[in-house]
Chain A
Amino acid sequence: MEYIAISTGFALMLLGLWGILSQKNLIKIVLGFTIFDTGINIVMVSIGYVKGKAAPILDVINASEAANKIVDPVPQALVLTAIVIGLGVTALMLVYVLKLHREKNSLDINSFKDLKW
């Protein structure tokens, strides 16, 4: 289960990287980033998965039992943060794209090479 998930995650990361590195359209590049991020999130959650255990929400306080019942909550907490950070970065990138488009009326990444050397 977690192996399938984690390989999906890595595959999505590669796919996202491919998008970032090969696509010429700026929006596609940002899409590549969202897929890349999704991949990482899946990898992170997979890493915290414990075979056959339940979600980390307890009904009663029972310390000894809880430890054997739930999956690792820490990666989940981290992923929550990562998702929101990803949203922030994506939104910022998109606004950049908007402004860049306004600058040159183009979304082609090759039209933005004014700074070099």
Chain B
Amino acid sequence: MVGPIYIIAVALGLAFVMGLFGKSLKNLSEWAMLAGLGFMTFVSGQWLLEFMNNTRAVETIFTAGFKPPYSINLQMGIQEAFFTFIINVVGLLGGIYLFKDLKQTGPNAMMVFLVFVMSLNVVVMTRDMFNLFVFLEVGSIATAGLILLNNNGNALQAGMKYLIATGIISSILLVGIIYAYYFSGSLNIDDILAANLGASKVTVIAVFLIYVSVLLELKPFPANGWGIDVYTAANPGIGALVSAASASASLFVLYKLASLGGAEWLNYIAIIGGITFVGSNLIGTKQESPNRLLGYSSIGQIGLLTMIVGLSNILGEKMIFIASGILISHYAAKAGLFWLSGIINAKDIKGWAALRKSPFLLFLFGTFVFALIGFPPFPSFFGKWELIMTLATGGHWAWMVTILVGSFIEGIYLFRWLGYAIKLDHDELPDFKIEWNKIFPVWIMAIVLYAVGVYVSPLTEGGMFINYLPLMFVLFLFAIDFLPIYIKNTVSIGGIIWYMFHIYPVLENDLLRLIFAGIFLIGGVLTLMAGYNKKGTRKGFYPMAMMMYAGLIGIIESSSMLEFFFSWELMTAGSYFLIIRGKRSLPHGYSYMLFSIGGAYAILFGFGLAFASGFDTSLAALGDINILPTLAYSLLAVGFMTKTASLGLHIWLPGAHGEAESDVSPMVSAILLKAGVFGLMLLFLYMDRASAGANNLWYVLGWVGALTTLVGNMSAAFQEDAKRLLAYSSIAQLGYILFALSIMTHLGWLAGFTYTINHFLFKAILFLVVGGIVVKLGTHNMYEMGGMIKKMPFSFIAVLISIIVIGGIPPLSGFAGKWLFYNAILEKGWYFQGALIFFSGIVAFLYLYKLIHSIFLGQLKDNHRTVKEISAWILVPSYILIIGIMIFSAFPHWILKPIETMIAPYFSSQALMWDGTKALTSYGYWDGTTIMIVVGTAFVLLLTWLIVLSAKAKKIEQFNIVFAAERPFRPETTHVSYNIYAGYKKALGFVVAPGITIFWNVVSTFVLEVANWFRRIYSGNMQNYALHVVLYIVVFYLIALGGF
């Protein structure tokens, strides 16, 4: 074992020797520096390993050979080992990253770099107050020097601001230290902590000064302009170190001193951290410069960690796990992002669009962004999960809200940025080249994130059951991403089919899950089949699609809330990437993501309440929520409804589904939305049917469902874009489902299931076929289509059958759904809502007519004379789905009867009777098989007659429309189906007035304006920043101690 003191001795010795090397031995200095950093990493890593194997007790290093408090002592325990290790790792990697910059500046800069990393080690290890001060000063002076690696005016100004602010802060710390010494007679931290200075009104002032200066070192909002400028102007390699290493060390100092004042002070720390977390992220939303944005994000994350330290009494022993999970994610992601920023070297986050030239960089960027937000499988996910659960246990709602709001705001700018990188059309793209020494550290950090994530997951309750198999498959697909489509597609389909066989025995006796597994997996196979008609490699598509399916199937398989949430987030991430692939999907993918994380946080809050109710981590905990049950259920419902796109939460859907690629639309519409339905079903089954809160909620949701239906159908009718029309139709259909489920009766649920299955079948067909047509014709606009019936007869039949199902026209299964639906409504007595639903059912005919008429009937357009039928790869899955429709229509009892059995325990009355194939209710009966036979026979007869007739008919050639003297300014206005329902729109358009879009726009504008207003404090004047620091001290003092 190499003693920790050698970290310091070797680093300093090397630094002193390097002065001799001079410029001629630049290379030698460089390698010496790296060797030194490597040695430091080795020593701390070795200690960390020993501690993790429990083969060591805490080691105290006595300098000068005397016992503390008479001499300075250092301590090496597991926490110190952890912190020094991560500091040294990022130091070493940062040294590699800055290899060329340091060489250019010369050995002096290398010495400074080495000493900088060394000083952070001492800051972590020292147990002496004044020694802490000295090495904090060493660290800040070194930082002020390293800022100047970027030799420009901005770096100079930032460095000066940094010097002034830290000068004031460290002086205040010094006064605090000398008073602590005066009161306690010792400089040893343990002695000072034991002296309990917070207890006396006289001595508490030392506590205040120490706290305020340590907190100010952490750059609390809003007294942190000086810190942000450092991130902005310094070389990103230095930014990475400041963010990952210095901030970690400062945080550890706070942790070390946390018990200095007592519980009341911890409250202040938590509040300061919370304000910083929310405030800093809020201001980040207006930021366009990558480094500065990273600065805001860094400060925000450190605020969150500060808050966690402040909440340590509440979090108890979980605190270490939570803090390290979030810290390690921040550490690796922020270092990686700063380094990436240095590689891209763009002035504006829009310039990051250049990133997609290199898929690997994009992969790294995505990894870091998701790790920061706290998506699985990264350690921050587990940290945040435990944090929310533990806070919920103690009933700390305000803290939970703070954390979730702050995280959401962070998502606002991180996903905007990620979206730009993936999708933005931007002209001024920076040129960049990737040097090995710059990309290597970034890779290491990404690997750290994944490895630590998988390592920590079993440490959480329920985390050990997480099924990483599908994720492995995703990784495998990443590895083979360079292969052509047909191979990857086959592999993906094979994987799904294999999983079907794997999962069937597990779910055999759980029909609810089996149905959804069927929708997800069979749907997955069918929609993937359409992919065979694409050419090339389709980079990134398959891993992301599989990630979505992995999430979906994980939701089905999960038995604990953690697994559920893990899979939910996985699904969200995968589907986000799928959605944003569309040509004009940038804003829609973004809003999808924002609604999704908002919804996910609502779910998380609900889960927290459920966990707190009985300390049960399984999903069954949803069954007995006794803490604020109505709130919990509402939050969970809202969370799931963001995925089902219910009214108010639906504005992301039309764009996301409408603009997605032709085979992605059916995935995210027919399949993905059902995850929300599944969530709602689970929730509704668990909710306490006797409670007034639950019944009120259902009543409200019933109305929401009905209104969603109306708005969805009306909007669909006024669409000119074929895919958006289908998207709005989805909103409406999901409204039906929500309504049906909210009825909470036997019949209602049967209707809900029927709608769910139907929607899966027909929406997959419609999106596949219409998507194919849109690609063939090169336009989304229906008024630019027409007469396709002869060119695409198979498509026509597929669309026809689908709209028969949507319309609920006998003999197809849509009728079964409607029949059950109206029976359920009558039985429940929701007449007003029922009327609304009935009315929107009529509206549905308008858009269905428009869809089939504009595309397939009417005149063929000149430029479409040569188009052919869409690809067989689209038609085959569609027709398989049509077979599904036929079976479900003819033999509905095959599926409905088992569902009845399944839901029987939940709903007392058996309102539906079966008599052979005949279904009976008190309002009448319906026999799917017979209707099918009758209508089928009639159809065949009529068709034969028509064909016979049409043989005699005289064919008339299409003629050109000649405009008398003038051409219409907008040719589309002459199309028969253009704005076909203008009259209705005039009368009823207010229903679809974009009120909700306007509402959300106002909300987002408001947030951004608040951010804009707040950030005016960052005026750029260094004196003002110093003033902020002093003012912060004064205000904190008046609040904390002003009372006496």
Contact = CB atoms under 8 A, between A and B. Distances in A.
Direct contact of A and B (CB under 8 A): yes
Interface of A: 13, 17, 20-21, 26, 29, 33, 36-37, 40, 43-44, 47, 74-75, 78, 81-82, 85, 88-89, 92-93, 96-97, 99-100, 103-104, 109-110, 112-117
A47 B193 CA distance: 20
Contact of B145 (A20, A74, A92, A116): A92
Contacts of A47: 178-179, 181-182
Contact of A115 (B154, B287, B1023, B1027): B154
Among B154, B171, B179, B233, find the residue whose CB has the most chain A CB atoms closer than 10 A: B171
Interface string B174-217: 11011101100001000000000000000000000000000000
A103 B156 contact: yes
B819 to A, nearest CB: 61
Nearest to B288: A117
Contacts of A81: 130, 134
Contacts of A96: 144, 156, 159-160, 163
Interface in B116-170: 130, 134, 137, 141, 144-145, 148, 153-154, 156-160, 163-164, 167-168
Given A20-B164, A89-B141, 20 more contacts: A13-B171, A20-B1023, A29-B1023, A33-B167, A40-B174, A75-B181, A78-B130, A78-B178, A93-B164, A96-B144, A96-B156, A96-B160, A99-B156, A100-B160, A112-B160, A112-B1020, A114-B154, A114-B157, A115-B158, A117-B287
Contacts of B1016: 117
A1 B1030 CA distance: 29
Contacts of B1021: 109-110, 113
A112 B1022 contact: yes
Which 4 pairs show the lowest CB-CB distances between chains A and B? A116-B1020, A113-B1020, A103-B153, A112-B157
Contact of A43 (B148, B154, B158, B178): B178
A104 B187 CA distance: 45
Contacts of B1032: none
Interface of B: 130, 134, 137, 141, 144-145, 148, 153-154, 156-160, 163-164, 167-168, 171, 174-175, 177-179, 181-182, 187, 229, 232-233, 286-287, 292, 1015-1016, 1018-1023, 1026-1027, 1030
A114 B134 contact: no
Nearest to B158: A115
A82 B174 contact: yes
A74 B70 CA distance: 10
Contact of A17 (B134, B1018, B1030): B1030
A74 B178 CA distance: 10
Contact of A93 (B160, B232, B1027): B160
A21 B1028 CA distance: 10
Contacts of B168: 17, 20, 36
A33 B166 CA distance: 11
A104 B175 CA distance: 36
Nearest to B137: A85
B160 A40 contact: no
Contacts of B181: 47, 74-75
B195 to A, nearest CB: 16
Contacts of B292: 117
A92 B144 contact: yes
A109 B1023 CA distance: 8
A82 B173 CA distance: 12
Nearest to A77: B130
Counting chain A CB atoms within 10 Å of each CB, the highest count among B159, B160, B1026 belongs to B160
B534 to A, nearest CB: 44
A92 B146 CA distance: 12
B66 to A, nearest CB: 14
Nearest to B182: A47
5 contacts: A21-B1027, A92-B163, A100-B157, A100-B160, A113-B1020
A20 B1026 contact: yes
Contact of B1030 (A21, A33, A85, A93): A21
A85 B164 CA distance: 14
Contacts of A97: 160
A104 B153 contact: yes
* Interface SS majority for chain A: helix
B570 to A, nearest CB: 36
Contacts of A33: 164, 167
B178 A113 contact: no
A19 B762 CA distance: 76
Contact of A117 (B157, B171, B178, B286): B286
A63 to B, nearest CB: 14
Given A21-B1027, A74-B187, A89-B167, A115 B178 contact: no
A88 B181 CA distance: 24
B229 A115 contact: yes
Nearest to B286: A117
Contacts of B178: 43-44, 47, 75, 78
Nearest to A103: B153
A114 B153 contact: yes
A110 B1024 CA distance: 10
A117 B292 CA distance: 9
Nearest to B233: A115
Contacts of A13: 171
Contacts of B1022: 109, 112
A74 B131 CA distance: 13
A116 B287 CA distance: 11
B820 to A, nearest CB: 58
A82 B286 CA distance: 41
A36 B156 contact: no
A93 B174 contact: no
A104 B152 CA distance: 11
Nearest to B179: A47
B157 A115 contact: yes
Given A40-B175, A100-B157, A117 B1015 contact: yes
A116 B1018 contact: yes
A114 to B, nearest CB: 6
Nearest to A81: B134
Contact of A21 (B159, B160, B1020, B1026): B1026
Nearest to B152: A103
A87 to B, nearest CB: 11
A88 B49 CA distance: 38
Contact of B156 (A20, A43, A100): A100
Contacts of A26: 160
A97 B167 CA distance: 15
A116 B157 contact: no
A108 B1023 CA distance: 11
B174 A44 contact: yes
B156 A93 contact: no
Given A29-B164, A93-B163, A37 B182 contact: no
A88 B153 contact: no
A57 to B, nearest CB: 19
Interface centre among B148, B286, B1023 (most CB of A within 10 A): B1023
A97 B159 CA distance: 10
Contacts of B156: 96, 99-100, 103, 112
A78 B134 CA distance: 10
A42 B407 CA distance: 46
A50 to B, nearest CB: 12
Given A43-B175, A75-B181, A103-B156, A115 B163 contact: no
B206 to A, nearest CB: 11
A43 B1020 CA distance: 33
B617 to A, nearest CB: 44
A38 B1021 CA distance: 26
A113 B1019 contact: yes
Contacts of A89: 137, 141, 163, 167
Contacts of A85: 134, 137
B164 A116 contact: no
A75 B174 CA distance: 11
Nearest to B1023: A109
B536 to A, nearest CB: 43
Contacts of B171: 13, 36-37, 40
